[in-house]
Amino acid sequence: MTSLAQRQTLLSLIDEAVAAGARAARACQIVGLSLRTVQRWKLTPHRGDQRPERIQQPANRYSEPERQRILSVLNSEEYGHLPPSQIVPRLADRGDYLASESTMYRLLRSVGQLAHRGRQRAPSPQPKPRALTAQAPNEVYCWDITYLPAAIKGRFYYLYLFLDLFSRMIVGWQVYDVEDGAHASQILRDTCLREGIEPGQVVLHSDNGGPMRGATMLATLRELGVAPSFSRPAVSDDNP
Q: What is the pLDDT of residues 120-161, one digit of tens each?
A: 777 777 777 778 889 999 999 999 999 999 999 989 999 999
pTM over 0.85: no
Q: Is the pLDDT of residue 55 over 80?
A: no
**In the 8-state DSSP scheme, what is residue 204?**
E
Q: Is the pLDDT of residue 7 over 90?
A: no
Query: Alpha helices, DSSP H only, in the chain?
Result: 4-19, 24-30, 35-43, 64-74, 84-93, 101-110, 181-195, 210-213, 215-224
**In the 8-state DSSP scheme, what is residue 2?**
-
Task: Say what the pLDDT of residue 208 is.
Answer: 86
Task: Say what the pLDDT of residue 11 is.
Answer: 87
Q: Is the pLDDT of residue 53 over 90?
A: no
Contacts of 5 (CB under 8 A, 6+ apart): none
Q: Does domain 140-238 have CATH number 3.40.50.2000?
A: no
Task: Say what the pLDDT of residue 201 is.
Answer: 95
**Mean pLDDT, the chain, as a whole number?**
88
The Cα–Cα gap between 147 and 141 comes to: 20
CA 140 to chain centre: 28
Task: Say what the pLDDT of residue 131 is.
Answer: 81
pLDDT tier at 178, thresholds 50, 70, 90: very high
Higher pLDDT, 79 or 233: 79
Higher pLDDT, 52 or 219: 219
Residue 5's SS3 state is helix
pLDDT tier at 1, thresholds 50, 70, 90: low
Q: Is the pLDDT of residue 5 over 90?
A: no
Task: Say what the pLDDT of residue 185 is.
Answer: 95
**Cα angle for residues 188, 190, 196 (degrees, 5° grid):** 95
